[in-house]
Amino acid sequence: MPRQQLAQFHVDYLQILDENGRVDTTLEPPLPEATLWQVHRCMTLARMLDRRMHILQQQGRLGTFPSCYGQEAAGLGCVLALRQDDWLVPCYRENSALLYRGLPLHNLLLFWMGLEEGAYWPRELRVLSIPILIGSQTLHAVGLALASQIRGANEVTMVFFGDGATSEGDFHEACNLAGVYQAPVVFVCVNNQYAISVPRSQQSRSETLAQKAIAYGFPGLVVDGNDVLACYVAAQEAVERARLGRGPTLLECLTYRLGPHTTADDPRRYRSEQERQQWEARDPLKRWRIYLEQRGLWSEQQQAELERELQAEIELAVHQAEQIAAHADPLEMFDFVYAELSPDLLAQRREAAEFLAHSETLSASSVRR
Active site residue 261: yes
Cα–Cα distance measured from residue 264 to residue 262, given in angstroms and rounded to the nearest whole number: 5
Quote the CA–CA distance of 43 and 115 in Å, as a whole number.
25
Other C-beta atoms within 10 Å of 149: how many? 19
Query: Do residues 42 and 288 make contact, with C-beta atoms less than 8 angstroms apart?
Result: no
Residues of 268-296 as b/e, b for ≥16 C-beta within 10 angstroms? eeebeeeebeebeebbbbebbbbbbeeee
Query: What DSSP assignment string belongs to 66-116?
Result: ---TT-HHHHHHHHTT--TTSEEE--SS-HHHHHHHT--HHHHHHHHTT-G
Burial of 7 (0-12, 13-18, 19+ CB in 10 A): exposed
Identified catalytic residue from 13, 83, 270, 319 = 270
Q: What angle do CA 15, 18, 20 make, to 5 degrees?
A: 175
3-class SS of residue 129: coil
Pairing verdict, β 194-195 and 198-199: antiparallel
Catalytic residue among 261, 282, 287, 289: 261
Query: Is residue 311 helix, strand or coil?
Result: helix
Q: Is 13 a catalytic residue?
A: no
**Coil vs helix vs strand at 4:** coil
Closest by CA to 238, choosing from 145, 132, 143, is 145
- Choosing from 257, 282, 287, 289, which is the catalytic residue? 257
Residues of the chain by 3-state class (helix, strand, coil), percent to 5: 55, 10, 35
Contact 192, 163 (CB under 8 A): yes
Burial class (CB in 10 A: 0-12, 13-18, 19+), 174: buried
Compute the distance between CA of residue 356 and CA of residue 369 in angstroms, rounded to an integer: 20
C-alpha closest to that of 199 among 162, 228, 170, 242: 162
Is 338 catalytic? The answer is no
- Enumerate the active-site residues: 257, 261, 270
